[in-house]
Amino acid sequence: DASSHSNRSPKVHETKWSLPEPNRFTYSLAISTCARCEQGDIALLLLDKMTALSNDIVGDTRTKPNTWVYNAALLACAESNHSPCAKANNNHLITAFGILEKMENGGFDVAPDTVSYNTILSAIDESSFVSAKELYDESGNRKS
């Protein structure tokens, strides 16, 4: 009987949704997404938050940035450097050089890989390289 069927309420399965705990994968994905959307500032804020979180939880390596995370941050800097406001974002190129240098010197406990260097090279054109290198050298960050 159709009328008796319509009076029955369907069983609703209550599904609880939850977000995963932040980890390297979720942060890397978020930073990479920011890179593709030319949101370098947000990507770098996420990297800072991730680094602070990994420092707060001693012995928990789930949120400790790895090469993939730093490469995503380098990509965010590179993409921001190619945006229409690239002149204003030259600081992102300087930031990228700083990240790479810390990776090379062991400051992040991870080493750069081929992707790291290719990402830096993709961010550089002749004019941005000259101006960024001058600014970076003037800031006293680079050791002679």
pLDDT tens for 95-115 read 999 999 999 998 888 999 999
Q: Which residue has the higher pLDDT, 122 or 30?
A: 30
Backbone angle region of 58, left / alpha / beta, with phi > 0 → left and psi within -120 to 50 → alpha: beta
- The single-letter code of the amino acid at 85 is C
- The single-letter code of the amino acid at 30 is A
Say what the pTM is.
0.71
